[in-house]
């Protein structure tokens, strides 16, 4: 298929984090689309990073949360994740999310970049930075519950792989970060 042309963007709604847009696009030799839905995050870092996901690895086990999601009326397995903020690097955003959602901290040299991915190329205008956090230690026993988070559960590499292969209730960022973390650790042995 030939490339299409972007004509213009109409912002139809917004909140503190996103613009909801109807883009007009034109296909060569065919009618275009006047209301191609695009969600554009308001804050974007280098390389179009708009969010982060950081997978903690403590005592040879991966840690995931099981958090409630109203959209699916169920609990979802997920690694700590969230939006990037102005004035932070993407790694700083990942470390902040790790602390806020788990009460864990690690040294900056123990945060391993696992690349990025596009969560939905046809809808969301942005990428998610993926990270692995090694040698994490708790900094607090008491955490204020944060929206969508849950209790931490530990998985050895084999159990994490089984969860990835068999669970239908796991976040996309968590899946990609987990597969890349397992691969990273396998290549370090």
CATH number of residue 69's parent domain:
3.90.79.10
The total of other beta-carbon atoms located within 10 Å of residue 70's CB is: 7
User: Domain check: are 135 and 179 in the same one?
Assistant: yes
pLDDT category at 189 given cuts 50, 70, 90 is low
User: Domain check: are 173 and 119 in the same one?
Assistant: yes
The residues near 99 (Cβ < 8 Å, ≥ 6 apart) are 105, 139
User: Domain check: are 54 and 102 in the same one?
Assistant: yes
pLDDT at 187: 87
User: Domain check: are 28 and 81 in the same one?
Assistant: no
User: Domain check: are 124 and 55 in the same one?
Assistant: yes
Q: Report yes or no: 112 and 132 within 8 Å, Cβ to Cβ.
A: yes
Question: What would the mean pLDDT of 146-158 be, rounded to a whole number?
Answer: 85
User: Domain check: are 108 and 29 in the same one?
Assistant: no
Which of 29-33, 56-60, 109-113, 169-173 has the least mean pLDDT?
A: 29-33
User: Domain check: are 73 and 165 in the same one?
Assistant: yes
**Mean pLDDT over the full length of the chain:** 92
User: Domain check: are 88 and 37 in the same one?
Assistant: no
Residue 73, exposed/middle/buried by CB under 10 A (0-12, 13-18, 19+)?
exposed
Range of the domain at 10: 5-41
* 63-97 per-position pLDDT tens digit: 999 988 889 999 999 999 999 999 999 999 999 99
User: Domain check: are 145 and 118 in the same one?
Assistant: yes
User: Domain check: are 16 and 105 in the same one?
Assistant: no
User: Domain check: are 118 and 166 in the same one?
Assistant: yes
Give the chain's domain count.
Answer: 2
Percent of the chain exceeding pLDDT 90 equals 82
Per-residue pLDDT at 101 exceeds 90:
yes
Per-residue pLDDT at 143 exceeds 90:
no
The candidate with the shortest Cα–Cα distance to 80, out of 14, 142, 173, is: 173
User: Domain check: are 159 and 111 in the same one?
Assistant: yes
Per-residue pLDDT at 177 exceeds 70:
yes
């Amino acid at each position: 298929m030939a490339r299409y042309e972007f004509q213009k963007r109409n912002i139809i709604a917004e909140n503190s984090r996103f613009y909801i847009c109807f883009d007009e696009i034109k296909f060569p030799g065919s009618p275009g689309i006047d209301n191609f839905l695009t969600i554009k995050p308001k804050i974007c870092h280098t390389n179009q990073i708009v969010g982060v996901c950081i997978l903690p690895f403590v005592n040879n086990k991966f840690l995931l949360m099981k958090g409630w999601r109203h959209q699916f009326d169920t609990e979802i397995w997920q690694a700590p994740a969230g939006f990037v903020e102005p004035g932070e690097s993407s790694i700083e955003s990942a470390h902040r999310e790790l602390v806020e959602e788990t009460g864990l901290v690690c040294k900056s040299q123990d945060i391993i970049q696992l690349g990025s991915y596009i969560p939905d190329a046809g809808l969301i205008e942005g990428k998610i930075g993926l990270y692995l956090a090694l040698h994490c230690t708790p900094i607090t026993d008491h955490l204020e519950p944060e929206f969508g988070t849950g209790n931490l559960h530990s998985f050895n590499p084999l159990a994490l792989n089984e969860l990835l292969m068999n669970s239908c209730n796991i976040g996309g960022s968590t899946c990609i970060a987990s597969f890349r973390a397992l691969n990273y650790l396998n290549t370090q042995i």
